[in-house]
Amino acid sequence: MTTVETTVADLRTEVRRFLADELAAGSFRPSCDSWIQGHSAEFSRKLGDRGWLGMTWPQRYGGGGRSARERFTVIEELLAAGAPVAAHWIADRQTGPLLLRVGTEQQKQAFLPAMARGRLFIAAGMSEPDSGSDLASVRTRAVPTATGWRVNGRKVWTSHAHRSHYLLALVRTAAPDGDRHAGLSQMLIKLDAPGVHVRPIEVMTGEAHFTEVILDDVDVPQGMVVGAVGDGWRGVMSELAHERSGPERYLSTFPLFAELVAGRTAHGEAALADIGSATARLWALRALSVQVQDLIERRSPTDTAAALVKDLGTRLEGEIIDITRRACRPGPDPSDSGPLRTLLSEAQLAAPSFTLRGGTNEILRGLVARGLGA
């Protein structure tokens, strides 16, 4: 093995040991969709204390100075185990890297160390009631004041805004003037600031993991715009590459798949063929996702490949549910209170969101087609 492979293998063993200890201590129950629905500030703090957040960020900003491959190893183990990682997910996956790329020195020092310790959580404020796929049409406005900006508008489907410290909001700071991507900016807004109203939105599971955020004359001080004023579109696009390409886009139902493979259900020939096919596709997606992480690290374009990971990956996440249903036909034994039944029902309730969040699959296929020269 090369030195890199040894480091990664040792790290994987360390993460698995940590997860086994946490499971034994009852600190979490493996669940599907744990990167969206599994919110535990305490678990995120534990990861931060172990140096498993902000892993690739420079050490002078509280990061680990480690490789993208090492970070990938940690997050795929956490997701495969269905561990509760939602609290820090946005900060670790996209806001931190964005700040490193275009943030001011002051912003880096103020935000990154606390994010890397799992003490500062960020919500992503892109979507609005009439602006989801067409993000450039956002209507939340920020106008300059003597001390910074005054913001008015409404964000929706904002995951965990009621449990986060800041919202990174995409807002209009100037008229588009012919180019609809111009005049947009991203700013960090304190979620307990006067004028910020966060309303949880209940989903089918009865949980409320996402919210509506009303911004009513919110004063945002100078120094909170991330990147140049008016250049927010570029920042959002770079975040979306991180958002679409990671292992969370094909592992949301992996705890169900692992339970199906390892569990008590007897597998007929058809089920074995389904399982084999899904396993092969998981490996192919993993290879593609690893490649995108390498491209991101080298700052190469990733839009098309990232869109492919999300389109193919989220479809596979849904198919794993179908495979499980077919394998268990006519359904898991109602008297079985084991994990398969619970995982299947939570996966089914989460499934409608797989192909929506982070950009719908129709939009992604358009991106892939354009990327391939259509």
Strand partners, 167: 123, 189
Of residues 345 and 361, the one with the C-beta less far from ligand FAD: 361
Q: Counting contacts by CB under 6 A, is residue 149 touching ligand FAD?
A: no
Q: Counting contacts by CB under 6 A, is residue 157 touching ligand FAD?
A: yes
Strand partners, 141: 152, 172
Q: Among residues 210, 250, 254, 257, which is the contact residue for ligand FAD, using CB under 6 A?
A: 210
Write down the least CB distance from residue 226 to ligand FAD, Å: 15
Write down the least CB distance from residue 132 to ligand FAD, Å: 2
Write down the least CB distance from residue 89 to ligand FAD, Å: 9
Of residues 84 and 358, the one with the C-beta less far from ligand FAD: 358
Cβ atoms of 152 and 218 closer than 8 Å: yes
Give the binding range for ligand FAD (CB under 6 A) out of 39-47, 124-132, 242-250, 328-336.
Answer: 124-132
Q: Counting contacts by CB under 6 A, is residue 362 touching ligand FAD?
A: yes
Q: Counting contacts by CB under 6 A, is residue 205 touching ligand FAD?
A: no
Q: Counting contacts by CB under 6 A, is residue 356 touching ligand FAD?
A: yes
Task: Give residue 286's identity as a one-letter amino acid code.
Answer: R
Of residues 158 and 293, the one with the C-beta less far from ligand FAD: 158
Q: Among residues 159, 186, 238, 289, which is the contact residue for ligand FAD, using CB under 6 A?
A: 159
Q: Counting contacts by CB under 6 A, is residue 359 touching ligand FAD?
A: yes
Of residues 149 and 157, the one with the C-beta less far from ligand FAD: 157
Residue 350 CB neighbour total at 10 angstroms: 24
Counting runs of H as helices and runs of E as strands, what totals does the chain give? 13, 8
Give the binding range for ligand FAD (CB under 6 A) out of 20-28, 44-52, 194-202, 359-367.
Answer: 359-367
Q: Counting contacts by CB under 6 A, is residue 363 touching ligand FAD?
A: yes
What is the DSSP code (8-state) at residue 192? Answer: T
- Strand ranges (DSSP E) for the chain? 122-125, 141-144, 148-159, 166-172, 184-190, 196-201, 210-221, 225-226
Give the binding range for ligand FAD (CB under 6 A) out of 69-77, 122-130, 189-197, 276-284.
Answer: 122-130
CA-CA distance, 135 to 203, in Å (whole number)?
Answer: 23
Decide the pairing of beta strands 122-125 and 166-172.
parallel
CA-CA distance, 223 to 226, in Å (whole number)?
Answer: 8
Which tokens is 203 given? Answer: 């989903």
Q: Counting contacts by CB under 6 A, is residue 126 touching ligand FAD?
A: yes
Task: Give residue 228's identity as a one-letter amino acid code.
Answer: A
CA-CA distance, 257 to 261, in Å (whole number)?
Answer: 6
- Whether the upstream peptide bond of residue 332 has omega within 30° of 0, thus cis, is no
Q: Please report, as ranges, the residues that interact with ligand FAD according to CB under 6 A.
A: 36, 124-127, 132-133, 157-159, 210, 353, 356-360, 362-363, 366
